Structure 1
Amino acid sequence: MRTVGVEEELLVVDPSGRPVPLGPDALEVAARRGEGENVEQHDRAEREDEPANESTAAHLVPELKAQQLELGTDVCRSLAEVDAELRHWRRRADSAARAVGARVAALATSPLPVEPVPTEGERYARMLDVFGATAREMLICGCHVHVSVADDEEGVAVLNRIRGWLPVLTAMTANSPFWQGADTGYASYRSQAWRRWPSAGPIDVVADAAAYHRLVDDVLATDTVLDTGMVYFDARLSEKWPTVEVRTADVVLHVEDAVTLAGLVRALVETAARDAEAGTPPPGMSTEVLRLAGWRAARSGLTGDLIHPLTGRPAPARSVLAALLDHVRPALADAGDAQRVAEGLATLVGRGTGSELQRRVHRETGDLAAVVRAAVALTAGETPAASRATG
């Protein structure tokens, strides 16, 4: 059974719904409780390119902006464990934020206008200096899923075979329609903002692990990104863990949707590894078409057409989700995840993505602060004040 872990970035907000730079203060509380790292510890670990806590992946840590914090689950072997871990660490993150007068919200962008405040630390300061407005304005929250692989050769074989499905994951997790107080017209504006980083996006099929590492070395040799941590491929080999890391998802409002995402990513990895072992070549979708597929997914989420990974042509989002489920069904069945993931996708399609929920609350209330309040409640596992917000 392949192990899986999830990282979520969360906004730290005040009672008015505005992001506030209290993430480092909340993390000091968490560090005193033995639940996370403070800014100084995390900065040192990032600069030394090693896990700050080698015994476990579970942690609460800083992010680029002081209006954020990040949680990470322990290494999990079942989706029930992923569910329990996410709920536990969301509660602990919210408890730490409450201790300093704030809350956390699983929103991929802030609905309300905000001036991002950088987190202190040598590495973050270098990012601000090198990348200017891109780094200054970047206040976005994603969800990253790690799945174990046997070695780098298997990992690269997996990367080559899952790339066409990654935009579908963006569509199903879309949770960022608003930016600086306005509706962007996108379901996942986070993914559009993210592409401003020079190393972000899909990569070509690579021959083997040696070719992948040459590609990373070539990226670093340009002296454009600071280190391997800034090699922001849509999916990559983790530098810190023996995993493939999939990075295309928005952070989602409902824990159940994050669990569904984790199940699908694990099944994609397992399916790709089996295809590689059987000698099935990677699908032939070009990187240029993949970029277009990512844009289409970000624009409409599950409410319009997506680019079908098997044809390269537009198709209704529901049919593409059905194709994804068919593609990974044997791997899901072998992991015991088939029913849970199928039901999770059905619930998601029926309820709508976080982006749809945010717009629905805004239509009903005319108040972006109400959108944030609903998100805070859902992040904490509570029922929003307006029950209609749950869809």
Structure 2
Amino acid sequence: AITESESGSAACFAPEFVLGLVEVNTPPVYTLFDLEHEYARNLELAVRAARSLGLRLYPLGTYPLPLEPAVREGLDYRIQVSTVGPERFVDAGRCAGTHLHLELQAGTVDAGVGISAAASGAAREEVLNIYNLATALDPALVVLTRSCPYFEGRATGLAVRTVHYRGNAFFGWQGVYTDLPQVGALLPYADDAEHLIKQQFDRYEAWLAAMDRAGVERRYFAEAGGDVLRPAWNPVRLNRKGTLELRGMDSNYPDVTLAACAMVLGAADRVRRDGLEVVPDEGVNCFELTGDVLRVPDFGRLGGELLYAAVTGGVNDETMATYLDSLLDLAGEDERLAGIRDHRNTTGVYPTTEAGILEDYYSGSGFLSDDEGLRLVLGACGELEDQVFRLGHSQHQEGEPADVT
């Protein structure tokens, strides 16, 4: 009732596949200022609606204590549970992420094939470069948005949500998509638009084959509205809404989420504005700009050394720090990014929510008691509410949008 009466529509909220999660959305916007405004408004509505029901919202990527999520009824959910396996899929209900959509030229995305045959050459070039940029950004988003270090009451020293949601058989990370990397892992860079289209069909066929192995009839997938783009839970994916969707970030405090968005939008704007070609290169370890060519680490290094550094050592890994330095140089100036740079210059490392929690809650054993876990949860709920209030207040004080270029 609160959301309907005050926003005019409940479209900014949606149920997730488990009862304990709620999706908070924002409408399409043109600037980071507008994103902050819509995000602050919808978060405030969500916090107030929860309070009216005697609830509070916990904002981080994993719940720190043991949790048995209750899955909603729905054909699509049943297909996923049966195909992935309930013992693996349950971890998806213990993880929460933040997704950022980058608009592509109208008519570029076709849910039947991935990239529309009618898309212009310029549109195909844009989607290729933005897709490859988003792929190269993945380790940065993993490391900068590391949130809760605890999972089921235990700290492992890893990026918890990434491990338990994405998984990785090579590194021994047991997650939802460990055995189905085609549908859940970061996919390689695309050589051209045709290669990107092929990736969509290869993933689609991999999902149908997984359904076959699990004894799930393919007709159910069609009945649930399945298409070529549907079986995609990768960190970077084409979305039928006509966007490129980045899904690798932990759910987090608003300040962290908006800083990560500023970084992504700054880099994407640079690629578009300057007409940069994004080129994977075996000879580089970070983002290197020469003329109109942006060289990024090749996929072997990106999905190997850099991803491993992001998930293990995190901001304390010097390889990762150098990679982040180069990315922030690319993204340009922004007030939120300036705060990240200042922290790096002052302390020698980039800030994360995870680091702050470990300062207050880490024990030598790595285990979290129920009492400490509940204290962590309530503290995170309070910090979310405080940041939502501050963000909303600052929005009311702003007369004109800030320059985000």
TM-score bucket of the superposed structures, by smaller chain: 0.7 to 0.9
Match of 1:115 among 58, 61, 68: 68
For 1:164-203, list aligned pairs within 5 A.
164-186=136-158, 188-195=159-166, 196-197=176-177, 198=180, 199-203=183-187
Residues 1:63 and 2:16 are matched in the alignment: yes
CA contact (8 A) 2:20 2:70 kept: yes
Superimposed CA distance per residue, residues 275-309 of structure 1 (whole angstroms, 9 cap, x where no aligned partner): 1297637535124642442232122332333xxxx
CA distance 1:108–1:201, change in 2 (3 Å): same
* 1:91 alignment partner in structure 2: 44
Q: What does 1:1-391 correspond to in 2, within 5 Å?
A: 30=3, 59-132=12-85, 133-138=87-92, 139-150=94-105, 151=108, 153=124, 154-186=126-158, 188-195=159-166, 196-197=176-177, 198=180, 199-222=183-206, 223=208, 224=210, 227=226, 228-241=229-242, 243-253=243-253, 255-273=254-272, 274-276=275-277, 280=293, 283=296, 285-287=298-300, 289-305=302-318, 314=319, 317=321, 319-329=322-332, 338-346=333-341, 349=344, 352-363=351-362, 367-381=372-386
- Say if 1:200 and 1:232, in contact at 8 Å, map to a contact too: yes
State the AA in 2 paired with 1:339: D
Residue 168 of structure 1 deviates from its aligned partner by: 1.2
| Cα deviation digits, residues 247-279 of structure 1 (max 9, x gap) | 1111122x2221111111112222334212976
Q: Label 1:346 to 1:370 Cα distance change in 2 as closer, same or farther (>3 A).
A: farther
Q: Percent identity?
A: 19
Return the letter of the residue paired with 2:89.
A
Q: Offset of 1:94 from its aligned partner?
A: 1.9
Report what 1:25 is aligned to. none
Contact persistence 2:203–2:231 (CA under 8 A): no
Where do 5+ consecutive residues of structure 1 fail to align?
A: 1-27, 38-57, 306-313, 330-337, 385-391
Query: What is the one-letter code of the residue matched to 2:377?
Result: V
- Distance of aligned partners of 1:185 and 1:379 in 2 relative to their CA distance in 1, 3 Å threshold: same
Q: Is the partner of 1:344 in helix, strand or coil?
A: helix
Give the number of the structure with larger relative contact order, counting CA–CA contacts within 8 Å between residues 6 or more apart.
2
Q: Distance in 1 between matches of 2:3 and 2:61?
A: 22
Separation in 1, partners of 2:381, 2:248: 23
Cα displacement string for residues 203-249 of structure 1 (whole angstroms, at most 9, x for unaligned residues)? 222232232122111211230375423312322222213x2211111
Question: What's the TM-score, normalizing by structure 2?
Answer: 0.70
SS in 2 for 1:143: strand
Q: CA deviation at 1:348?
A: 5.9
Which of 1 and 2 has greater Rg? 2
When residues 103 and 127 of structure 1 are mapped into structure 2, their CA distance, relative to the original with a 3 A threshold, is same
Give the counterpart letter for 1:141 in structure 2: A
Q: Secondary structure at the match of 2:184?
A: coil
**Aligned to 2:40, what secondary structure does the other structure show?**
helix
**Take 1:284 and 1:303, find their aligned partners in 2: how far apart are those partners?**
20
Q: What is the one-letter code of the residue matched to 2:276?
A: D
The answer as to whether partners of 1:377 and 1:383 remain within 8 angstroms in 2 is no
Whether contact under 8 Å (1:177, 1:189) holds in the other structure is yes
Q: Distance in 1 between matches of 2:37 and 2:325?
A: 27
Q: CA deviation at 1:162?
A: 3.9
Question: Contact 2:132–2:190 (CA<8 Å) still a contact in 1?
Answer: yes
Aligned-pair CA distance for 1:115: 0.9
* TM-score in terms of structure 1 length: 0.72
Partner of 1:40 in structure 2? none
- How far the C-alpha of 1:320 sits from its partner, in A, is 3.1
Count of residues paired in the alignment: 316
- How far off its partner does 1:129 sit? 1.8
Offset at residue 108 of structure 1 (A): 0.2
Structure 2 residue runs of 5 or longer lacking an equivalent are 109-122, 167-175, 212-220, 279-290, 390-405
The 8 Å contact of residues 142 and 249 in structure 2, kept in 1 or not, is answered as: yes
Which whole-Å CA distance do the structure 2 matches of 1:32 and 1:184 have between them?
44
Q: Deviations along 1:39-76, whole A, 9 cap, x unmatched? A: xxxxxxxxxxxxxxxxxxx6111112111111111222
Distance 1:348 1:298, change over 3 A: farther
Partner of 2:77: helix, strand, or coil? Answer: helix
Change (3 A) 1:339 1:215: closer
Q: CA RMSD in A?
A: 2.9
